[in-house]
Amino acid sequence: MNKIEVDLNAIAYNLSIFKRIVYPETKIIGVVKENAYGHGLVDVARVVWTSGADILAVEKIGEAIDLRVAKIKAPILILGYVDPDDYHKIVDFDFILSINDFEDAYRLSREARKRNLWARVDLGIDTGMNCWGVVPFEFLQVYQRILDLEHIKVIGIHSYFADPLDIKFSKEQLNILQNALFTLQQAKLPIPMVHMASTDAILSNPESQLDAVRIGLGLFGYSGAKTAKDLCPALEFKTQIAYLRRVAKGESVGYGHAFMAKQPKKIAILPVGYADGYPRSLSNKSKVIIGGKRASVAGNICMGTTMVDVTGIDCSVGDEVVLIGASGDGKVYAGDLAELAGTDTAEILSRLPARIFREYHFK
């Protein structure tokens, strides 16, 4: 059986690390988007909230609704796009909507006015990503127009670093944001909570902390910053040996003859593949852990099957196989797989399907 084990204690511990790093007055936004980076939305969000986060952030409105249904009463910020047809849900469930232009705010104000309620928004400013937010030279005007709307409260202003570990470019982005805020001060306009730093920026660029920080990947034990060595990975991905086969010298394994046996081999067949979140790009590259020993993937990873070279390893059908995690002296973390796959750790984790059984540990 394929399963994912999540150590909720590790998540609470990682959050405590960041609480010691950020300034005491800085709010913490716990980012649990995309099923909490594959760790499981509701269980993780509850721990993040009760462990001291001030706000929870998700990507999609469906995730936000799931948290409300689970009776999680935290302030919830929706970072991603929401179809205007769903704006009534923003008002009804009291979510905070991340917006990128005046039109978003105007449509939301109309929905709020229908219910005689107030809606909350967090306005983005584009400081160099060319992806989200109001462009700087229009920011003052757009902000003023939104403040003039009825039934809308601007509770935040935010931006994103393109590459937090590129300190020079990040400082340029931060200057753009600070200049925009200065124009608001000159116009005597109120400035709400401002946030820009995510995990890597918190660790590598403390001056970017501002009023709040967004902690996502760091909650789960990962970061690109070298100072993240004290974080604890919270997830283990496991399967088991389904079959064992003997392969003769000169024979191939799997689709495309991608693995050729240069000598007799013992091959373990695992019931896990790229449809289960174990990327095909790891074919002939990654290693798994069986009985505390590392074994190499042999051939192309299939949709639901992976073959592993277990020659010289004492193993049997039904034995546990660690895809992500640790066993004995062997360790394979999501960051290791990301490097081999040519992607980032967040993609490896967030692509783990929600249908895979998750087992939670919490004391």
Q: How far apart are CA 297 and CA 265, in angstroms?
A: 13
Measured at the alpha carbon of residue 295, what is the angle toward residues 282 and 242, in degrees to the nearest 5? 90
- 48-58 burial, b at 16+ Cβ within 10 Å, e below that, comes to bbebebebbbb
Q: How far apart are CA 222 and CA 220, in angstroms?
A: 6
Q: How far apart are CA 279 and CA 303, in angstroms?
A: 9
Closest residue by Cα to residue 289 from 317, 265, 325: 325
Q: How far apart are CA 196 and CA 281, in angstroms?
A: 32
> Which residues face 237 on adjacent strands?
4, 324
Q: Which of 168, 249, 255, 285 is catalytic?
A: 255
What's the one-letter identity of residue 69? V
Active site residue 222: no
Q: Which of 27, 33, 238, 265 is catalytic?
A: 33
Measured at the alpha carbon of residue 241, what is the angle toward residues 252 and 353, in degrees to the nearest 5? 100
Tokens, residue 72: 């999680």
> Residue 17 — φ and ψ, nearest 5°?
-60, -45
Q: How far apart are CA 153 and CA 122, in angstroms?
A: 9
Measured at the alpha carbon of residue 99, what is the angle toward residues 93 and 102, in degrees to the nearest 5? 115
Residue 6: CB atoms within 10 A of its CB come to: 23
> Which residues face 361 on adjacent strands?
7
Element (H, E) at 98: strand 96-99
Cβ contact 125:165 at 8 Å: no
| Rounded CA Rg of the chain | 24
Active site residue 33: yes
- 229-262 burial, b at 16+ Cβ within 10 Å, e below that, comes to eebebbbbbbbbbeeeeebeeeeebbeeebbebe
**Residues classed as catalytic:** 33, 255
